[in-house]
Structure 1
């Protein structure tokens, strides 16, 4: 968050409460009404519609701030697209992660042809400003066509089975899609997932690969990064 001005100025609730509500909503599979109930249990009476407005206003800023502060992602990218049905019409959610499971970017599009693949590649490169060593995709021909034009020198591996890392990364979005009873529009899906993916991913710490002490240290670093990104400490 910007240090030159106070983005929370003029709000009735303290910045700590706003921060906590947005964190709860995007870090866990909670509805807006469930976040309202959790806050009410702690003596904070606020409507779910207000929490929605906080998420829209501050969530994307938090997500962008986290992305700016993260270490440089890995050089091996896994790309995958899954279908998303919005108001009866089929769309596709494109996602890229690195070899460490960090979400690099997401994009909701109406097609999965070569033009759509090129658009996603360009969005990735524009946001990350470097070229990967390897990209791993399924056997969709659009990836190969786009890669030949945009990333001709990059190694490309295509397999149904090498891309599990990205397929697993889609699961939180799938849970939220069901919880929200599907997205209302392609713009709504893009707006929500562009916020949700960086925040949720920031706290996915691969606990199964860490000892208890390593996990606690990693968790503390994640909370410190969150505090720096939002400018507000988490409510204890």
Structure 2
């Protein structure tokens, strides 16, 4: 039941109190603060165990990088995100600042989780100058190909711009996060549920009707 609650919260954009009512209707009486603790404990674990099933990008044509805003402890934080040409999720990075250091950490995180042959020829970003400095540093350090091209054409990033809205609808139900730690843990769970919904692990479903439930149960040994 704990995994059901965590999965529902990260997938459907509901509040902890609404989820408490849903569970009560099914005969499970649990306080919303307990559900909060479940999400903080098991959302990152769920992402960790399912990451292998979908982590590698399959589209080498181009990646799309952009930032959006999330509220953390009453202040806006920057959520860096990356998807491939088909909208499949690559990774994310949460930062309190929007600067070259944050862009560097974000890009380094992506390159550290992919093989060299999976890196595309082109990455699309907005016109933020921070990416230029970050990419130059990564190329000097040998962490990305020197011939990697960066494009700054606005309409090219419609893929990720549209995806921001779908993600924000889920995050909106949280009414903001209390800390960067809790935001990061929750977004990890939301990320993996979004990846599942996009069919990024469909090759492991084996034709089962309740594929998502079966896969999660399998990785947790239930």
TM-score (norm 1): 0.77
Alignment of 1:66-85 (within 5 A): 66-70=50-54, 72-74=56-58, 75=60, 76-85=62-71
RMSD, matched Cα: 2.5
- Number of residue pairs matched by the alignment: 207
Tell me if 1:132 matches 2:132: no
| 2: CA distance, partners of 1:223 / 1:197 | 16
Kindly tell me: are residues 219 and 92 of structure 1, through their superposed partners in 2, closer, same or farther at Cα, counting changes over 3 Å? farther
- Following superposition, the deviation at residue 225 of structure 1 comes to 2.9
* 3-state SS of 1:162 partner: helix
Gaps of 5+ in 1: 1-16, 207-216
Tell me if 1:113 matches 2:134: no
| 2: CA distance, partners of 1:116 / 1:221 | 36
Tell me if 1:229 matches 2:219: yes
| 2: CA distance, partners of 1:100 / 1:231 | 31
Q: Which residue of 2 aligns with 1:183?
A: 177
Tell me the alpha carbon deviations over residues 168-214 of structure 1, each in whole angstroms, 9 at most, x when there is no partner: 222243223432222222332222212221123312359xxxxxxxx
Kindly tell me: are residues 102 and 219 of structure 1, through their superposed partners in 2, closer, same or farther at Cα, counting changes over 3 Å? farther
* 3-state SS of 1:163 partner: helix
Tell me if 1:23 matches 2:7: yes
Tell me if 1:166 matches 2:160: yes
Gaps of 5+ in 2: 139-143, 201-206
Q: Which residue of 1 aligns with 2:134?
A: 146
